[in-house]
Amino acid sequence: MTDAPAPLTAETQSVEAPNDAPRVKVLLTLVEGSDFDAAVATVSRQVYDPVPDLVIVGKAESVPDGAEVAVTLEEAIAAADQSTDYLWILHSDARPRPDALSALVEEVERADAALGGSKLLVAGSHDVLESIGSATDVFGEPYTGLDEDEIDLQQYDVVREVSFVSSASMLVRRDLAQGLGGLDEKVPPVAAGLDFSQRARLAGGRVISVPSSEVYHQGRCGGKSRKWREQAGRLRAMVTAYSPLTLLWVLPYDFLVALVDSLVSLLFLRWRPGARHLMSWGWNTLNIPSTFGRRRRFKKVRVLGDEELFRFQARGSVRLRVIGSELSNRMLSIFDEDQALAKRSRRIWGSPGIWGAVLAVFILGFSMRSIIFSGLPNVAGSFPFEAGSVALERWFAGWNESGLGSPDAVHPSVGLTGLASILWFGAEGAARTVLTLAFGLLAVVGMGRFAGRLGLRGPGRYLAGLVVIAGPGTAVLAGSGSWTSLAAASVLPWAVRAAFVHESEKDRSHLSRFGWVILIGLTLASLSPVLILVPVVVVLAWKVWGGQGSRLVLALSGLLGTAVALQFFYSDVGWLLEADRRIGLSVDDLWPVLLVVGFLPLVLLEGTARRIGSLGVLLGLAGLLLVRIPGMGPGIEEASLILASFGAAMVVAAGLDRLTGRPKHLMSIVAAGAILFFSIGSLADGRLGLPSGDLSERLGFSVSLAHEHGPGRTLLASTQRSDVPGEARSGPGYWYRVVDGTGMTHDEVWLPSPRDGDEALDEALRLISTGSELRPGEVLAPFAIDWVVLFGPEFRLDEVLVAQFDLVPTPLDPDSRVFENPQAVALADAGADSAWQRSASGFSGDLGSGRVALALNHSDGWSPQPGPVGWQASVSAAEGVASFRGDSYSVAMAWVAVAVALLGLILVIVGRARR
């Protein structure tokens, strides 16, 4: 295709062409970067008589003999005289076969068409089809109907009417071209072809595709940088061609499609589609005058209605169809690493692991049915998210409202839930449900992908995902209501997987890999900070076992994720080390036996399955043993239990990898099946093992019966630890804690270290418990405790509160004893019958010259003009606002976490861009 230019001579003309054939003028449009001389040569080789005249459109460096020159296509069309019957508009990056023109003329004449387009083949390929004339949707989005890299086997070789033909090679009647004013010079070739084709059709002409006219197209006319121009051109073509009535619905529809395309693309970390839509609409807005000018001119030659265009258009939106297809492919590829589904392979159901994935997802769906239909329970450690902005404010060195409040950091998961709520457009409830369902799916997929990366291909790897969230440790954690443990367990396989590199992925971007390791590490550390060590342990152990593909440097990079929990560790090291704060969960003694029995058959196997089983059994048993070691706080207890489940899942993945009848495999299947069976039993309730109940609803009276100054706090107490939600403090013979009267939220699950106010409350409760205090309401009033709720069997406080003067027993909950405290002060008491209201994580109210007493633990971080009143905080009422900002260390640590997250994000984006 790089032939030298040749002059147009009689020797090159075909003797077979009839002399009375229509006269054609070739308008060779210069395309930047194309070989002009070669283009002229291919034109000159056309077998057609009479010899077509050649017009060079654009600024050519050299002009062949006998050729005319025109600056613009419009000028070239206008210059054609009546002796010319057809104009062949041809790009200089197109290489027509010698008979291309004659075929075009012949078929256009035969079909009595006004416009004909050649079959375009990709230059330099083995007859890969580029275009055979396209259909479009109503927005002009081309729809070729061709598969990617589809070879031309003459399967489309039939002359037919099409929506439009490419301007790379089109034959148009001269009179029509002049009547339509030629191609739109402001838009790129495809859009120009579309625009011209549409106008030709509405002017009464037929538009056909002529497959016998074959043209190799180098595609230099459609560079990446012009994509947005093509989009803009299509939009302009719509506005030019459609009637006002059609435009009334098609433009808003197009805008919506653009919006959906932009948002979904963002999900796939692609920002360009959004930018293209933005630029397209912007460009058209700027060019409204010229568009309307064209529309006016076209009106004069228009003879048909929009229906004529609709006849050749695909239904719906091609763009939406592509998005949907991509989404479904992505979803399927989650389970189908072999891409069998995506490639529409006939071996779909023979694809390794697909049965396991389907079964695991089915069981998972069954295990989440109650969450899907009724929502998540609000008990124990599972509570609604706070408003996204408030949660992020708290995480970013803000005020921790749990208990009597504290400047100590909130649990790092609060930041994650805040982010999720914001990303879910502020719908915290939906965000929580979706996130939980996603975590369930992540566990199954993550375990499958992790085991797949290590080399397993069987169905066990996905089924093992169920063991991650319902194995020995996570089952008891979920049973105690720990939502974050469930979430952390589901992220753990991904975090470990990120530290492994599969053979087939070695050439992928390192930057992207590091970025993902950091981002997943941040997520894992925000849910269960101690688990961040597990990938390092697994990688080291894998190396000891001689396994391939692990990357210690990746695992160590994941430790950067700890940044998200720095504040939390800094302010509450007891969460790691205080044994008396443990959750106090124990795993059935059956589990160590099950793990060992599950591993025994694997010892007899060879290769990856044995190696994974070995690692799994040791991790699982280590987790079960660690939880029995004294001197460890709830953080380590939680991580150990999750580790036990993760190890058990690895044993299951290895044991169920090969479903054959060989004795060794049969034994491993039975043993692993037993572990799986015992695990999924805990999921039968439909809540992923979380306990049932809705404490928010039970305590809803604290909002509906709140005082004028708004809900304060509710004191909860019981002799049963599980009755008190979240962390609880040990009182004289019972557990207790205070919760926010507006309803307990996720951030309140963890109690910060006790401060002066907490000690004062403890003393108050001790006094009340002796029975010597006849006015317990008065004693509890300074803590803004509006309600006292006693759960479980009757205990000391019941006995005491039955004989007192100022806590009013109120039968609001049939399953607990509720006492109202009419004496309680407002959370933010401005005096003189005035109370401030909550505002984000602070308070606001009337301006004043006095001070506002806050029933919170004092901290100098409050402003303006903070000052302690006993254990309480107080601020000046001068500004009408009370707000809190943590110390500089906490702020710095929050910024470090943000920086690490940004680093991870940038690495992923840059890595993808490079790929």
Binding site for other proteins (CB under 8 A): 545-546, 579-582, 584-586, 589, 592-593, 595-596, 599-600, 603, 610, 614, 617-618, 621-622, 624-625, 627-630, 719, 721, 730-735, 766, 769-774, 777, 796, 801-809, 819
Closer of 809 and 864 to other proteins (Cβ)? 809
Classify strands 115-122 and 207-217 as parallel, antiparallel or unpaired.
parallel
Gap between the Cα atoms of 1 and 414, Å rounded: 63
Supply the minimum distance, in Å, between the C-beta of residue 772 and other proteins: 4
Q: Please name the amino acid found at residue 517.
A: V
Cα–chain center distance at 368: 21
- Work out how close the CB of 596 gets to other proteins at its nearest, in angstroms, rounded to a whole number: 5
User: Which is nearest to 655 in space by CA: 637, 638, 668?
Assistant: 668
Least spacing, CB of residue 548 vs other proteins, in Å: 15
Least gap, CB of 571 to other proteins (angstroms): 21
R_g over Cα of the chain: 36
Let me know if 428 is exposed, middle or buried by CB neighbors in 10 A (0-12, 13-18, 19+): buried
| Contacting residues for 702 by C-beta, under 8 A, at least 6 apart | 711, 714, 741, 742, 743, 786, 787
Q: How far is the CB of 534 from other proteins (least distance, A)?
A: 16
CB nearer to other proteins: pick between 60 and 774: 774
Q: Nearer Cβ to other proteins, position 71 or 808?
A: 808
Contact 510, 908 (CB under 8 A): no
Residue whose CB is less far from other proteins, 700 or 732: 732
Contact 690, 382 (CB under 8 A): yes
Residue 817, H or E segment: strand 817-820
Q: How far is the CB of 637 from other proteins (least distance, A)?
A: 9
> What's the burial of 794, exposed, middle or buried (CB within 10 Å: 0-12/13-18/19+)?
exposed
Taking the complex as a whole, how short is the minimal distance between the CB of residue 817 and other proteins, in angstroms? Answer: 10
Taking the least distance from each CB to other proteins, the nearer of 228 and 819 is 819
Least distance (Å) between residue 856 CB and other proteins: 25
If the CB atoms of residues 339 and 770 are measured against other proteins, the closer one turns out to be: 770
Could you tell me the smallest distance in angstroms from the CB atom of residue 499 to other proteins?
Answer: 21
* Minimum separation from the CB atom of position 582 to other proteins (A): 6
**Rounded Cα–Cα distance for residues 791 and 360 (Å):** 38
Distance CA 335, CA 353 (A): 8
Q: Please say which residue, 48 or 787, places its beta carbon nearer to other proteins.
A: 787
User: Which is closer to other proteins, CB of 437 or CB of 774?
Assistant: 774
Which is nearer to other proteins, 418 or 620 (by Cβ)? 620
Residues 590 and 628 sit within 8 Å (Cβ to Cβ): no
Place of tokens 């963002």: 266
Which C-beta is closer to other proteins: that of 632 or that of 907?
A: 632
Helix axes 483-497, 510-527, angle to 10 degrees: 160
CB of 748 to other proteins, least distance (A): 20
CB-based burial of residue 615 (10 Å sphere; 0-12 exposed, 13-18 middle, 19+ buried)?
Answer: buried
Q: Which of 64, 172, 141 is nearest to 313 (CA)?
A: 141
Tell me the β-bridge partners of 736: 717, 729
> Rounded to the nearest whole angstrom, what is the least distance from the CB of residue 658 to other proteins in the complex?
17
Pick 583 or 901: Cβ nearer other proteins: 583
Q: How far is the CB of 579 from other proteins (least distance, A)?
A: 7
Q: Which among 13, 155, 24, 10 is positioned nearest to 83, based on CA atoms? A: 24
Structure-derived torsion over alpha carbons of residues 605, 608, 614, 618, reported in degrees to the nearest 10: -160
| Dist CA 32 CA 95 (whole Å) | 15
Q: Measured from the CB atom, is 763 or 846 closer to other proteins?
A: 763
Is the Cβ of residue 614 or residue 682 nearer to other proteins in the bound state?
Answer: 614
Q: Roughly how many angstroms between the first and final C-alpha of the chain, as a whole number?
A: 31
Locate 439 and state its tokens: 């975590």
Report, in Å, the least distance between residue 901 CB and other proteins.
Answer: 35
Q: State whether the Cα torsion 166-167-169-171 is positive or negative.
A: positive
What three-state secondary structure class fits 820?
A: strand
Torsion-angle region of 838 (φ positive above 0: left; ψ -120 to 50: alpha; else: beta): beta
The answer to whether the beta carbons of residues 62 and 38 sit under 8 Å apart is no
Residue 657's nearest CA partner among 611, 715, 700 is: 611
- The rounded distance, in Å, linking the Cα atoms of 909 and 420 is 20
Closer residue to other proteins (CB): 367 or 769: 769
CB of 799 to other proteins, least distance (A): 8
Instruction: Report CA-CA distances (Å) from 447 to 3, 268, 492.
Output: 57, 22, 9
Shortest distance (Å) from residue 838 CB to other proteins: 29
CB of 536 to other proteins, least distance (A): 19
Burial 859-891 (b: 16+ CB within 10 A, else e): bebbeeebeeeebbbbbbbeebbbbbbbeeebe
Nearer to other proteins, 244 or 546 (CB): 546
Closest to other proteins by CB, 614 vs 872, is 614
Distance, in Å, from the CA atom of 292 to the CA atom of 289, rounded to the nearest integer, reads 5
β-strand partners of 379: 382
Strand partners, 818: 789
The whole-angstrom distance between residue 76's C-alpha and the CA centroid of its chain comes to 51
CA distance 201 to 909: 44
Minimum distance from residue 784 beta carbon to other proteins (Å): 19
Q: Would you say 131 or 821 has its CB closer to other proteins?
A: 821
Closer Cβ to other proteins, 395 or 599, answer by number: 599
